[in-house]
Structure 1
Amino acid sequence: MKLAAIVIVYYPNIEDLKINIFSFIEDIDKLIIWDNTPAKDQSHFNLDFPEIRNKTLVFTTGKNEFIAYPLNEAINWCLENGYNYLLSMDQDSLFENGSFRRYVNKIKLNQDFKIAIFGVNPNGQFLTRESFLETNWFITSGSIYDVSIIKKIGGFREDYQIDCVDNEICYKVITNGYKVVVDTHCKMNQIYGSPLKSKYGFTTSGYSPFRTYSILCNHILLWREYPNMLDRNLKRTILKDYLIYRFVKIILAEDKKKKKLLALFNGLIDGLKGKRQQKFVG
């Protein structure tokens, strides 16, 4: 097993990033740091870590490429350089002590060659069990991909950019006859967004107009493309949380109301039409 990793960063907290990287660096063969920070600001973030310089590559295009494009580029790099697995990590994901090494060792012992994606247990959301838990979806961070399978089925969907990239690749894997599994013993601490408490007592995501558009539009596109893969809970979440509650929270508790409401409307319409705006500006 030859394992590379990619950490996609955007205006990172360097000290936190270093801690997170050092929770898995000893058990991988090569690390790609993909810098999505715009070129004008990159000089403010020193991504050169002397202790692991021999293991590390830094890639960037000088602009924010989101998630899917860097992942596809990393898959291609792995195939060109003889790596058969790729770990994908967010800049704010941290493995619990010793957890990642056990995860990798378990994958090395795996004999099921239909498994295309291995995942872990973020924030303890899964009950632990000895064998891998088969599932139909797992977040990008903490996933280890069989690069040959991911390339064979067409890679990550780049027009999605960021939202639902994880859902889509898992659904594509399964519809092509492969498996997605979770190692429930591998614990990873994961931060989801930056929720804000409103004066009305509820929390709101505070997402930008772009993310407001992207979350709703991409989930509707996903629903259209994989109608039999989405369970009832996710369909309810799309309608309730990403559309109705999002509308209410923008009205009551967020700034940039006009832009965000327009983004929500456009996300709904474009999702129903089946094509998102690639240069949506909120």
Structure 2
Amino acid sequence: MKTASVKKKIKVSTPTSSGACAIVVLFHPDAAFGCRLQKILTQFSSVILVDNTPKGAPLTNLPSSVKVLRNDRNLGIAAALNQGVDLAIEKGHEWVATFDQDSEILPGYLEDVVSISARRTPTPVLVGCNYLHDGDTKVAHRAPHQVTDAWVRQTLITSGTFMPACFAREIGGFREDYFIDSVDHEFCLRAHRHGAEILMTVQPFMRHRMGNAGTSLFGLTLSLQHQATRRYYLARNTILTLRQHGTTYPFWAARQIFRLIGEGFAIAFIESDKAPKICAFTRGLWHGLIGRSGPLERI
């Protein structure tokens, strides 16, 4: 899929629970993934697993409602999501929900996102799932006062997002040249520019692990102890997204610039292995500024 640059008005069909498909991207899934998959299957009649694990062991004892796409190498999160969306459309599914392998779906998820989406169609809508941090009972995002079902957001995380599949493909899909990181932010901003509403459920319907431990700085969550490669992608793809969408979404852009400053501060003064991370982070900033993208071969 290639990135669309021209804004188009796109109408979508009304979703149903029976016609929805779950897409889960895998990369070295842990032993508990089978249990999380079973919880997805209690709500979805069709699941697509896209496995990016190089030479990974085949998944066994799966029901016929689960289709597995295996890649012989790690193609990145965006390419895997696009593969899942394409297969879902091929199988006749009009709406899809995307999940990370370590997210645990909670009861009521599908019913809620279908209900929220159905009230907005034929306008395209992306409905993200509020969530509980793994091992915590605190809701990740507090809804505005008196909002009962969903509220407007500028961006959503990939995991738990419900969307019309053909709309996702028509606007260009997920940016494969990003490989990982900021794929979800860029997709949401582009979807909004094509007329989609971006919403999040008030109630948490997922337990989600947000990668490495983080700290909060003036309301922004900063990731700590990422490897140098992730530091590169985080910096580069944030700059690439700012270049494409920053003037249209200045408030979002200001927060991202401030977050980058905070991430640089964290690397320099808090984290271990400073030298390779500083090198990767600054290289990512530079590559973003000159418009370089694609998978990184080495730091």
Q: Same fold (TM over 0.5)?
A: yes
Give the 3-state SS of the residue equivalent to 2:42 in structure 1: helix
The match for 1:47 among 39, 42, 59 is 59
Q: Residue 120 of structure 1 aligns to which amino acid in structure 2?
A: C
- 1:246 paired residue among 246, 262, 267: 267
Residue 184 of structure 1 pairs with residue 194 of structure 2: no
The residue type equivalent to 1:239 in the other structure is: I
For 1:111 and 1:117, locate their aligned partners in 2 and report how far apart those are by CA, in whole Å. 10
Contact 1:14 1:47 in 2 (8 A): no
The AA in structure 2 aligned to 1:211 is: R
CA distance in 1, matches of 2:99, 2:280: 28
In the alignment, the residues of structure 1 paired with residue 43 and residue 113 of structure 2 have an alpha-carbon distance, to the nearest angstrom, of: 8
- Residues 1:81 and 1:236: Cα distance change in structure 2 (over 3 Å): same
* Residues 278 and 20 of structure 1, relative CA distance in 2, 3 Å threshold: same
* Distance in 1 between residues matched to 2:114 and 2:194, nearest whole Å: 26
**TM-score using structure 1 length:** 0.85
User: 5+ residue gaps in structure 2?
Assistant: 1-15, 133-138, 216-221
* Distance change in 2, residues 1:119/1:195 (3 Å): same
Tell me the residue number matched to 2:9: none
Distance 1:86-1:204 versus aligned 2 partners, 3 A rule: closer
Cα distance, 1:82 vs structure 2 = 0.9
Letter in 2 for 1:35: D
Contact 2:178 2:237 (C-alpha < 8 Å) held by counterparts: yes
Structure 1 segments unaligned to the other structure (5+ residues)? 198-202
Kindly indicate which of the two structures has a greater share of residues assigned to helix. 1
**Partner residue in 2 for 1:235:** 257
> Cα distance, 1:8 vs. partner?
1.0
The residue number in structure 2 matching 1:38 is 54
2:90 to 71, 80, 99: 80
**Separation in 2 of the partners of 1:204 and 1:78?**
33
1:127/1:208 Cα in 2 relative to 1: closer, same or farther (>3 Å)?
A: closer
Q: Name the counterpart of 1:200.
A: none
How far has the Cα of 1:24 moved from its partner? Answer: 2.3
d(CA) in 1 for partners of 2:296 and 2:141?
37
**Equivalent of 1:139, from 136, 152, 157?**
157
Deviation at 1:25, TM superposition (A): 1.2
C-alpha distance in 1, partners of 2:197/2:189? 9
The question of whether the paired residues in 1 share the 8 Å contact of 2:128 and 2:200 is answered with: yes
- Could you tell me how far apart the structure 1 residues matched to 2:173 and 2:214 are? 34
Query: How far apart in 1 are the matches of 2:253 and 2:44?
Result: 35
**Which residue does the alignment assign to 2:25?**
8
Distance 1:247 1:217, change over 3 A: farther
Aligned to 1:268: 285
Q: Normalising by the residue count of structure 2, what TM-score does the alignment of the two structures yield?
A: 0.81
Higher relative contact order (CA 8 A, sep 6+): 2
